[in-house]
Amino acid sequence: MKIAVCVKHAVDESELKIDPSGKPLLEGAASKMGTFDKNAVEEALRVKASAGGEVVAVTVGRADARKSLKEALAMGADRGVHVLAELGALDPPKTAGLLAAALAKTGPYDIVLCSEGSSDTYTGLVPPMVAERLGVPYVGYARKLELAGRALKAERSLEESLESVESPLPAVVSVVSEINEPRYPTLIQIMQASKKPVEELRPEQLAAGDAAPPTAVLSMAAQPQNRKHVMIEGTPDEAASKLLDALVKEGVLQP
Amino acid sequence: MSKGFWCYSESGAIAAELASAASSLAGAVPGDAVILDLDGSGALGAAKRLVLKASYPAGASPEAVAESIFRAAKQLSPAAILVGATRNGREVAARLAVKMKAGLLAEASALALDGGRLVAERSAYAGKVTARVSSPLPCVCTVKAGSFPKGSARPAETQELDVGDVPSKVKTLSSAKKEVGTVDLKAAKVIVSAGRGVKRKEDLPMLAELAKDMKGALGCSRPLSSDLGWLPEEHHIGLTGVNVKPELYLALGISGQLQHVAGMKDSRVVAAVNTDKDAPIFQAADYGIVGDLYQLVPALRKALAARR
């Protein structure tokens, strides 16, 4: 079984600074592996544990995206593929084009695992775009996954229903974070991760297919925080009473 | 010249929202808002309805829906296709954009046209930032539910188009309604929300009682539903859970990670109780109490009872 798992070196949204004019400072912002991507890596390792084979972690991004790849390798992926590319913010088609081309070049893979979305932009479009570009089925938002020969069975978590589906392989699967508890790598695994092979690819080496028209980012501005920030003090009884008074005055609680 | 703004969602309510968004755009260029009807449900909300006649031997999966719409788009060249940003809708939009070699915008909460481009406003970085992005027409755009009023127009004109047999590789074996809590969080005017400050599952009824006293519903942050499994996933408020905008949001023992705040930041008034004075939830709150929810919840219930 050849298993790929896609990871994104995502902006650490909790560390993202805003300059005095209200612009987010994305250049040089702290980054980390997308929070939900760890569930995808964990699931890839579980598939390998049950079906055998190899797990390849794939990322698209600048040089520093290597850190997220290393994290996946420390968790247990066997090797990495790094497409070195400058990605504009909020341009899923470009990411998906490069990712699909890298998967085609280094594959074929039986199963490609992704998270439901990146923790920074949470758009959720890259996994199905990759599936469309590779011409394979997509099973989105899986909360249970099981392989049976050349097919997979999954339970998909939709807004209001749970859906059991069956799909032939190869397929792209995205997982929700309830599916598993990601493992923490040990210190030894972290050290060994640097010795695992990583193949570096450049966009010009990849046939990324017909490029979609690029998305233009016109502006980015911090969302206004118009909260009152009133701190209420006193004993629990006093504080509770003062809070209820304030809420009644706001008109959000019936007196 | 490309024509019309098409709207598709498997949810009739979201489709009606898309229709009102499209109708407001349609005023800006020649063309009309067109609501797509793939299941004969008689979709409402726009001046025109396009019924796609297809047969789905393996079921109307998102993959098949995308192919149906693509076949229709090849013939009729819409200017843009708006798709509800649901879990299935995202697959439809993503596949469509690749098939059409069109631009793709995502999670739009506001839309405008500017010189042949569609401009969308969206939230990013867990709600810290509002971005305006644009793509040339034709393009596909996913639209966040709850962003537009529901269109109520009865289509004056219905067109039918036969798109033939549409295959699908993914087969749905069964589908079951999710277990839903007793109250609908999206409709609740007051939400009392529980976080990691709740020490044991057995303590949740105390918070549920407070919610009941306040005529509200009980929500929670991600750890309580996803990691601990103390409440069904449908109670989870946040980026990957339910997005709510009640009149009052009372956060109890919630630290206020951005992923949580992204799901409740549009609440009208936010109050928070947390033992840690530096908890980020206080940055997202109108009223804050540094204290222990195990003392504040009984105190709030007592004070509420005294007022009745």
Domain boundaries, chain B: 5-165, 190-307
Per the CB < 8 Å rule, is B99 touching A13?
A: no
Contact assessment for residue B46 and residue B103, using Cβ atoms and an 8 Å cutoff = no
* The listed CATH number (3.30.460.10, 3.40.50.620, 3.30.70.1350, 3.30.70.980) that belongs to domain B5-165: 3.40.50.620
Contact assessment for residue B10 and residue B41, using Cβ atoms and an 8 Å cutoff = no
Q: Which residues contact B298 (CB under 8 A, 6 or more apart)?
A: A236, B206
Helix (H) or strand (E) holding A80: strand A79-84
CA angle B96, B97, B101 (to 5 degrees): 120
The CA–CA distances, whole Å, from B50 to A25, A213, B158, B284 equal 45, 27, 6, 44
Q: State the ipTM, two decimals.
A: 0.91
Confidence of residue B172 (pLDDT cuts 50, 70, 90): very high
Chain A partners within 8 Å of B139 (Cβ) = 213
Per the CB < 8 Å rule, is B287 touching A223?
A: no
Does A57 score more than 70 pLDDT? yes
DSSP A182: P
Q: Which residue of B has its CA nearest to A251?
A: B247
CATH number for the domain formed by residue range(s) A2-205: 3.40.50.620
The CA–CA distances, whole Å, from B204 to A241, B191, B220, B303 equal 22, 14, 10, 19
Please determine whether the domains at B5-165 and B190-307 fall in the same fold group of CATH: yes
* Mean per-residue pLDDT over chain A, rounded: 91
Chain A partners within 8 Å of B91 (Cβ) = 128, 131, 138, 140
Per the CB < 8 Å rule, is B129 touching A222?
A: yes
Chain A partners within 8 Å of B97 (Cβ) = 93, 125, 129, 212
Top mean-pLDDT range of A67-71, A201-205, B175-179 = A67-71
Shortest distance, CA A252 to any CA of chain B (angstroms):
6
Q: Which residue of A has its CA nearest to B225?
A: A178
- Tell me which residue of B68, B73, B83, B91 sits closest to B8, measured CA to CA: B83
Task: Looking at the structure, give the CATH architecture of the domain made up of residues B190-307.
Answer: 3-Layer(aba) Sandwich (3.40)
Does B26 score more than 60 pLDDT? yes
Which of residues 41 through 60 in chain B touch A, CB cutoff 8 A?
Answer: none
Give strand pairing partners of B130: A221, B123
Cβ pairs A/B, distance under 8 A:
273
Contact assessment for residue B76 and residue B111, using Cβ atoms and an 8 Å cutoff = no
Per the CB < 8 Å rule, is A159 touching B87?
A: yes
Chain A partners within 8 Å of B287 (Cβ) = 228, 230-232, 243, 246-247
Give strand pairing partners of B45: B153
Shortest distance, CA B264 to any CA of chain A (angstroms):
13
Beta strand pairing call for A161-168 and B171-177: antiparallel
**Rounded to whole angstroms, how far apart are CA atoms B150 and B14?**
8
Q: What average pLDDT does range A178-193 have in this prediction?
A: 94
**Among all chains, which residue has been given the structure tokens 């594959």?**
A107
Per the CB < 8 Å rule, is A213 touching B135?
A: yes
Q: What average pLDDT does range B108-125 have in this prediction?
A: 91
The three-state secondary structure class of A21 is coil
% of chain B with per-residue pLDDT over 90: 66
Q: Can you give the residue ranges of every domain in chain A? A: 2-205, 225-255
Per the CB < 8 Å rule, is A24 touching B129?
A: yes
**Rounded to whole angstroms, how far apart are CA atoms A78 and A73?**
6
**Rounded to whole angstroms, how far apart are CA atoms B95 and B100?**
9
Helix (H) or strand (E) holding A136: none
Check residue B1 and give its pLDDT.
35
**Rounded to whole angstroms, how far apart are CA atoms A67 and A2?**
23
- Tell me which residue of B228, B224, B260 sits closest to B244, measured CA to CA: B260
Give strand pairing partners of A59: A82
The per-residue pLDDT for range B27-50, each reduced to its tens digit, is 655 557 888 988 777 777 787 889
